[in-house]
């Protein structure tokens, strides 16, 4: 996540000639874009703070595409007593394209805090 997500997206796209998976655009509660790096998608995101300011630039995490549905993934995490969020479902129209993006996610919670240098 970055307060400069759009310019970072453009820099990586132009400098490294990475293929665009989706353009930078607002999804409602956040803005996002994606570039392909082989079988990995680099996602550049920004979220507003409560006061309307964007958060600082940071590496936030890794998203993996599961081999089952989000609900099945959440159920598997529950069986293993791994804390997680409820399944979240999203839908968004990509500007300038006739593509309706739909995705779902479940996130791990209660992870150990990172130590700061």
C-alpha span between 111 and 103 (Å, rounded): 23
pLDDT confidence of residue 1: 56
Q: Are residues 76 and 35 both part of a single domain?
A: no
Residue 117, domain member (yes or no): no
φ and ψ at residue 4, rounded to 5 degrees = -125, 35
pLDDT confidence of residue 18: 93
pLDDT confidence of residue 116: 60
Taking only the tens place, the pLDDT of each residue in 32-80 is: 888 888 877 888 888 776 665 655 556 666 677 778 888 898 999 999 9
Q: Are residues 69 and 102 both part of a single domain?
A: yes
Domain that holds residue 68: 64-110
Question: Stretch 76-105: mean pLDDT, rounded?
Answer: 81
Q: Are residues 51 and 25 both part of a single domain?
A: yes
CA distances from 103 to 80, 90, 91 (A): 24, 5, 7
Percent of the chain with pLDDT over 90: 15
Q: Are residues 6 and 46 both part of a single domain?
A: yes
Q: Are residues 2 and 40 both part of a single domain?
A: yes
């Amino acid at each position: 996540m970055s307060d400069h997500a759009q310019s970072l997206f453009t820099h990586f796209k132009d400098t490294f000639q990475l293929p665009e998976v989706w353009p930078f655009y607002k999804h409602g509660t956040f803005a996002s874009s994606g570039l392909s790096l082989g079988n990995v998608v680099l996602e550049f995101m920004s979220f507003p703070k409560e006061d309307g300011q964007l958060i600082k630039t940071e590496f936030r995490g890794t998203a993996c595409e599961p081999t089952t549905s989000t609900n099945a993934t959440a159920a598997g995490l529950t069986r293993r007593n791994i804390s997680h969020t409820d399944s979240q479902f999203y839908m968004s129209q990509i500007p300038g394209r006739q593509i309706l993006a739909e995705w779902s996610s479940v996130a791990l919670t209660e992870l150990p805090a990172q130590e700061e240098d």
